[in-house]
Structure 1
Amino acid sequence: MISRGDVVWVDFGAPRGSEPAKIRPSLVIQDDWLNESGVATIVLIPFTSQVRLQAFPGNVFIPAAASGLDKDSVAVVPQIGPVSRESIEPHPVGHLPGYLMAEVSAAVRLLLAV
């Protein structure tokens, strides 16, 4: 089962405007009670390997050693959104530690003004 904090590969499909595209890692941000419910979508935050984007407000630097990925990444929090389960590889490549989940959660609260 996919859990909050998991790093998963997602097929976002063809590029459209500034939306995430192609196959890329993403962070499961949706709470586990909803993940376990069988709802058709999961709320994710896509990653980019363009680490210079960490300078943009709301983005969070994710070191490779903490994510299970080969490269350092940036969680692009402003691109948070739902993705169909069919587009998500069901086997996570990693799970973010608590300190990074706290940073991402703070960025989500900042973005949504909650």
Structure 2
Amino acid sequence: MRKRGSVWLANLNPGRGTEPGKIHPVLIVQSQALLDAEHPSTLVIPLTTRLTDNAEPLRLRLPAQGRLKRDSDLLLDQLRAIDNRRLTEGPLLQCAPEFLARVDTALTEVLDLLPVVA
């Protein structure tokens, strides 16, 4: 069962240019309502073990936990929709609500979704 905030392995091949390819862990960020409705694609953020310090809001560090064996960075600028058949194994872990709040804040900044003041 896919849940918002869970980390799964996904086959991201073929990667193009700066896109991650291969099999990578991904964080599911799609709304739970769409997941429950069995929408055919899922919004995810790929993870990498090539860590870069002090790179917020483009990267957030997710420490190794659960079945995620290595510290990883979320690549927030690589947000993408994937076909559900690309999700190969999971969940590896379920992120804490506090961490998801940080992800939401970073996505708001990366996507320039800050509230417009009239």
TM-score (norm 1): 0.91
- 2:23 aligns with 23
Tell me which structure has the larger Cα radius of gyration: 2
Query: How large is the Cα RMSD of the aligned pairs?
Result: 1.5
Distance in 2 (CA, whole Å) between partners of 1:42 and 1:111 is 19
Q: Which has the higher helix share?
A: 1
- 1:110 aligns with 109
**2:76 is the counterpart of 1:52:** no
SS of corresponding position for 2:43: strand
Distance in 1 (CA, whole Å) between partners of 2:61 and 2:89 is 24
**2:91 is the counterpart of 1:87:** no
> Cα–Cα, structure 1 residues 85 and 28, in superposed 2: closer, same or farther, change >3 Å?
same
- 2:116 aligns with none
Greater CA drift, 43-52 or 53-62: 53-62
Identical amino acids, percent of aligned pairs: 27
Describe the superposition over 1:63-82 as per-residue Cα deviations: whole angstroms up to 9, x where unpaired: 113x6311000000010010
The residue type paired with residue 79 of structure 2 is: I
Superposed structure 1 runs of 4+ greater than 4 Å apart: none
Contact 1:54-1:61 within 8 A present in 2 as well: no
Distance in 2 (CA, whole Å) between partners of 1:26 and 1:54 is 21
Contact 2:10-2:89 within 8 A present in 1 as well: no
Q: What's the CA shift for 1:6?
A: 0.3
- The answer for unaligned runs of 5 or more in structure 2 is 114-118
The residue type paired with residue 55 of structure 1 is: A
Q: Which has the higher strand share?
A: 2
SS of corresponding position for 1:3: coil
> Cα–Cα, structure 1 residues 39 and 102, in superposed 2: closer, same or farther, change >3 Å?
same
The residue type paired with residue 48 of structure 2 is: T
Contact 2:56-2:106 within 8 A present in 1 as well: no
Distance in 2 (CA, whole Å) between partners of 1:93 and 1:9 is 8
- 2:43 aligns with 43
TM-score (norm 2): 0.88
Number of matched residues? 113
Q: What's the CA shift for 1:54?
A: 5.3
